Structure 1
């Protein structure tokens, strides 16, 4: 559901700043799910009006209890339905009839529980569509806004007193996770500007909720805990808007270990696993995706410190403990972040200042670095050294009981133009609190440190917004018709002529040897039916090949409609690749460049981006495919035309801007890479087009 500006404001108000709340099915027993929200709201000092609804009690936890929603003196902004599954739909209908803006559903037992649950969920969706009421959940543990005392949740973790307010907003599929983040955040002196458990997203989804809060000046960034990407378009729109607003987004998504999904009949679907597409989705929309839970809390200050437009690539490390720094360097290295050593000029400056200047990848000051003057002087030099875009200070044992020695200088350097981060090797709560208060990105473990820095550096600026065709059923094009699609976007392909079975032979417009392939929309994978014959050297051999193809069809694909054979000249390149395009149901259009040949699906040597991509981005993709490295002239080998390949990858990705072509999926496989200056040539293509 698309929101107008007034609807956005109403949603944000009712969800996070309600003036009145009804607790449908509230309990007097604080140990029960239905009793917790009343207890939490009273204790947190919520200034709005609280209406417990329970026809069996006159009073609940010291508050007047009301027999029904209709008996209330006003229509509440938000209703939290705490009753069992079978009562939910009547309660939501009642809320909609009264004009309630938002209803939150605690109960489970919907689409995750089978056919009956799916029907219940669809009924909820129809109520929202027909009445305009917004539904949070089912399986939502509620909404929390520490700034206003709104602790509208059944999550037991919110028995935690004095929840600190902060600058980041949390949206989570998992209800228990918002409680976990609050307790972990409190231990780290990290507060929140709001937390929402979205549950099953029958109506309101993470992207929509976060987008509704973007105008809130108290919210400076977002943390997302995702179990899936069920509402990709809304998440995409939010990420783009957050980028424009300068509010970083950090995401933790489950599913990294899931097996690659067979999402289509092309190799593209088999090679590009579901999580790999999600990874490209996050990076290309400027979202920092972390894989360590602590990093979800610790990445925001770093992402805030480093605007996406100036994301650094060169990291320098200074340390008082060689072992601690080695752990950080290892964690960065396995994530593809290389630590830069100080330059000769920087070492000279350090020497002139009487500071430790031992050459090496890490500037290890040893115990000398635990002196305030030594750390401060070293940081002042490193933070002005041109070879570093980001400086990481790793502090050892002194951080725990003597933070004034090596931690205080880090705090004092927080305002310098170049980003500075810190990792503390010991458990040092006082030092962490001081660094957090100063806005210095700080980490408690090498894993979180490496994960956060790598995630921030991996972000890319959002590209051009795609223009998609109207979705619907798809049909497979024949190879000949697929070449017509390639022609429309300027992708070069081998010349081809069509020959009908049983027709008289005509001279070919190109020389032998040639390849003959059955050409039919009914046969997307020709080799599986013996539909490809190579190295045909004469008119006689071509006639015999066509007879063989006919027999193969009659034997292996008797029901396929196939009247033609496509004939092309045999060609050979220095290498071959697969270029695939598809419109993913959640992520939208993607473009993939992969190693070609029979091992493509096994090796999964590929690069994925959201489509469309510019030629510059296509060049980056080429560098990420290991099989293409020999074609750069490595060890004297012939150079392939990788520039032509970059232009072709970009051209295929432009299908995302051509809705009139109605392409749902397209694959060029193989695309031959010719010697440098001679271009590339597609020698097979498969296209699925919306009807």
Structure 2
């Protein structure tokens, strides 16, 4: 199916001019009756054609025995029939020439082999017809701008939703409906919504990309349980970034047990958690841990005003709130630059007990005159620019007189500081909350949640300002391998791609090993050479710091014997004799081919610390030199490479260059090359060298 047809199908999904409801019900509470009721209540301009062979009318509309019998062009078909009738319904929709299908019907791939076979047959009909489908087992979609409600979501029972600017994509109908209510209850409105169900055809990533290009949508929410097409998701997230639209993601299935549940729920395999996290981080989205956080961060972005930087001013009437807000700011990575002593002195002229340079605690002195509180805020914001400000006003929002006094000064503050994102942390009534939001303020009750949401909005704002870089794959010729090579051959292949390794020679016997050591100079390292033995130290196959020929000969016999005893089926080809590299820091540079997202590169501390500390970072491959430097600086133990406690600083550019070359190598290979690893890569004050290398080929 070409890109034009795929796009047209998505247009017909979100913006159809006419809809046939196959399985239409006269009962507006039933699944087949709800979309009709929703569009009638919304006074939608979309033409709705109920399809029900047993009725002449459905909810006051003329009904048709089949979709093919409808005399007009039909853009979309909603299928709300039992699974046993679904194939006939799809055939009818295709005969009517629809471009998109929304299938509520369940009992397909999520229900077992028989259902999966039926789903396959349905998809063949749809593809042959050049149409697109959401589902099966989908809650459907809606578009508030054009009043299209192809859904049975019970969130609609609260009435026709207002037109908004938030786009929402969910792989779960129940979670999606729940999120709708959370978003609406938070005072936001939705532009487009879709719950994708089994994703037999249209997947969440495609919907996200469509919404990223939708002029009626400014902020995107994505709830995911799994991903079948990693490159499509990466492409959608890059499109959103290019369009400067914040993306807030909740990825369920973050543990092994959670991934198993997610797979059984959606019929999709959840990808590696670490790789998924890396993809989201690299794309510049905000990844949430809870649905509450997801809604809070979306709310902080939905006004259309994002912080210009990651600085925060806190003005509070409570010292305790100042402490907990400071903790939250430090944990979230948002700065609290102090105001000047002169500004604090000005505040203290009116509020003598006020303390702190940021947070500024006005204490309870303002209870009798709330105008003093806003004057303190005004002085803080005039002192220096801030990206955001949190104003903790305690219970003032429940007091009508306080709100009367505060409304004018709050309006003036908003006008004077149009670029600053202002948030009021206050207990309030729904009426006063709406008034505060209309003034251009965010409203929170929990100060910690407020700080975290402001920090997230600041990070998403920073992402919008960073240029979007597309790494180019170097023109490396893919290697041709039918089996995993041994260490020597692996190094040879990687050296051809520009990686540097310690000088070494292959020796088939003890005499050759001694001669090689004499030629290159002592001390040397011996390692058993076998394509079947990846971790040589674990089988006693490594000998270090050998200072003479006698030691080399003895070491040869020892490491070969150890390896043969530990792995009797291994093809042992002798040893490698290499220079003993002194000093430096052991790191690991690796890459593998993720089944969902493709080539991924890894960096971290190497040697025995790789497994013990698990201090590694991942990125999709290939990476740029700048991205590689960012990887290096992001590990927890970066201080070791940066000269902590008097150690020599490592050559970061040399490490980054090696990361780039490994990423280019894996990206250039075919699917048969599963992984590449240099462990350790010794980072030196000048340059760096690989000591061990491994290339794994798919069996």
Return the alpha-carbon distance in structure 2 between the equivalents of residues 473 and 27 of structure 1: 61
Is 2:308 aligned against 1:334? no
The equivalent of 1:684 in structure 2 is: 692
TM-score (norm. length: structure 2)? 0.86
Is 2:434 aligned against 1:433? yes
Is 2:79 aligned against 1:81? yes
Is 2:282 aligned against 1:284? yes
The equivalent of 1:585 in structure 2 is: 595
The offset of 1:195, in angstroms, is: 0.8
Is 2:298 aligned against 1:297? no
Is 2:611 aligned against 1:601? yes
The offset of 1:299, in angstroms, is: 2.3
3-state SS of paired residue (1:397): strand
Are the structure 2 counterparts of residues 404 and 27 from structure 1 closer, same or farther at C-alpha, using a change threshold of 3 Å? Answer: same
Return the alpha-carbon distance in structure 2 between the equivalents of residues 632 and 381 of structure 1: 41
Are the structure 2 counterparts of residues 395 and 278 from structure 1 closer, same or farther at C-alpha, using a change threshold of 3 Å? Answer: farther
Of the candidates 478, 484, 495, which is equivalent to residue 492 of structure 2?
484
Contact persistence 2:497–2:661 (CA under 8 A): yes
Return the alpha-carbon distance in structure 1 between the equivalents of residues 470 and 192 of structure 2: 31
Task: Give deviations 1:59-114, integer Å, cap 9, x for gaps.
Answer: 32222322112222224211111112233233223323432111111123333323
Task: Give deviations 1:462-502, integer Å, cap 9, x for gaps.
Answer: 44246599999985332223323443454332112112358
Are the structure 2 counterparts of residues 409 and 234 from structure 1 closer, same or farther at C-alpha, using a change threshold of 3 Å? Answer: farther
Structure 1 range deviating more: 89-98 or 162-171: 89-98
Describe how 1:454-469 pairs up with structure 2 within 5 A: 454-459=455-460, 460=463, 461=466, 462-465=468-471, 467=473
Is 2:639 aligned against 1:632? no
3-state SS of paired residue (2:355): coil
Contact persistence 1:577–1:597 (CA under 8 A): yes
Return the alpha-carbon distance in structure 2 between the equivalents of residues 640 and 215 of structure 1: 44
The equivalent of 2:523 in structure 1 is: 513
Are the structure 2 counterparts of residues 437 and 192 from structure 1 closer, same or farther at C-alpha, using a change threshold of 3 Å? Answer: farther
The equivalent of 2:268 in structure 1 is: none
Describe how 1:128-167 pairs up with structure 2 within 5 A: 128-167=126-165
Is 2:450 aligned against 1:449? yes
The offset of 1:172, in angstroms, is: 0.8
Return the alpha-carbon distance in structure 2 between the equivalents of residues 12 and 565 of structure 1: 59
Is 2:403 aligned against 1:403? yes
Structure 1 range deviating more: 152-161 or 582-591: 582-591
Structure 1 range deviating more: 149-158 or 418-427: 418-427
Contact persistence 2:681–2:689 (CA under 8 A): yes
Structure 1 range deviating more: 228-237 or 310-319: 310-319
Return the alpha-carbon distance in structure 2 between the equivalents of residues 3 and 473 of structure 1: 35
The equivalent of 1:365 in structure 2 is: 362
Is 2:573 aligned against 1:547? no
Of the candidates 569, 573, 585, which is equivalent to residue 563 of structure 1?
573
Are the structure 2 counterparts of residues 474 and 383 from structure 1 closer, same or farther at C-alpha, using a change threshold of 3 Å? Answer: farther
The equivalent of 2:225 in structure 1 is: 227
Contact persistence 1:171–1:195 (CA under 8 A): yes
Task: Give deviations 1:415-471, integer Å, cap 9, x for gaps.
Answer: 535332314232442343234334434434345324423434445444424659999
Task: Give deviations 1:337-371, integer Å, cap 9, x for gaps.
Answer: 45333344654665689898622441122345565
Contact persistence 2:394–2:427 (CA under 8 A): yes
Are the structure 2 counterparts of residues 355 and 608 from structure 1 closer, same or farther at C-alpha, using a change threshold of 3 Å? Answer: farther
The equivalent of 1:3 in structure 2 is: 3
Are the structure 2 counterparts of residues 470 and 668 from structure 1 closer, same or farther at C-alpha, using a change threshold of 3 Å? Answer: closer
**Whose RCO is larger (CA < 8 A, sep 6+)?**
1
Return the alpha-carbon distance in structure 1 between the equivalents of residues 666 and 642 of structure 2: 29
Contact persistence 2:527–2:541 (CA under 8 A): yes
Of the candidates 638, 654, 670, which is equivalent to residue 644 of structure 1?
654
Return the alpha-carbon distance in structure 1 between the equivalents of residues 338 and 159 of structure 2: 46
The offset of 1:196, in angstroms, is: 0.8
3-state SS of paired residue (2:48): strand
Return the alpha-carbon distance in structure 2 between the equivalents of residues 306 and 633 of structure 1: 43
Return the alpha-carbon distance in structure 1 between the equivalents of residues 304 and 617 of structure 2: 25
Return the alpha-carbon distance in structure 1 between the equivalents of residues 408 and 280 of structure 2: 35
Are the structure 2 counterparts of residues 28 and 611 from structure 1 closer, same or farther at C-alpha, using a change threshold of 3 Å? Answer: same
Are the structure 2 counterparts of residues 489 and 554 from structure 1 closer, same or farther at C-alpha, using a change threshold of 3 Å? Answer: closer
Are the structure 2 counterparts of residues 305 and 106 from structure 1 closer, same or farther at C-alpha, using a change threshold of 3 Å? Answer: closer
Gaps spanning 5+ residues in structure 1: where?
Answer: 263-272
Gaps spanning 5+ residues in structure 2: where?
Answer: 261-270
3-state SS of paired residue (2:332): coil
3-state SS of paired residue (1:223): strand
The offset of 1:629, in angstroms, is: 1.9
Return the alpha-carbon distance in structure 2 between the equivalents of residues 311 and 297 of structure 1: 21
Return the alpha-carbon distance in structure 2 between the equivalents of residues 394 and 473 of structure 1: 64
The equivalent of 2:264 in structure 1 is: none
The equivalent of 1:265 in structure 2 is: none
3-state SS of paired residue (1:213): helix
